[in-house]
Amino acid sequence: MVTYDPEYLQQAHKASIFHKTQIEQSDICGCFYCLGIFYPDGILEWTDQGNSAGETAWCPLCAMDTVIGSASGYPVTDRDFLIQMNAIWFPGSDDDEADEL
């Protein structure tokens, strides 16, 4: 298993927002909330319309704004990468489901 630097993972979050142009240039996308991998044309919904920085994709699988495209240069199809992103941005979300209200 590859272990990614936490700073690298922090930086990667920037590729998950205002990224419509980058998504359209990507061959494949990954979501670090549901760990899904899908093609850019699977994305049907966008947010941040009208934001000069660009629009942001909603994941077609879990409807979270946690999508990164391959054109970002991040290893979006590496499950280890997505799992470690999830651990940083959603700490505890994978081990305490029974405790959710």
Minimal distance, residue 19 CB to Zn ion, in Å: 15
Minimal distance, residue 52 CB to Zn ion, in Å: 26
Residues 6+ apart with CB under 8 A from 42: 29, 60
Q: Would you say 5 or 85 has its CB closer to Zn ion?
A: 85
For the chain, how many residues are written?
101
Minimal distance, residue 61 CB to Zn ion, in Å: 4
Q: Which residues bind Zn ion (CB under 5 A)?
A: 31, 33-34, 36, 59, 61-62
Q: Would you say 15 or 31 has its CB closer to Zn ion?
A: 31
Provide the strand spans (E) within the chain: 29-31, 37-38, 46-47, 56-57, 67-69
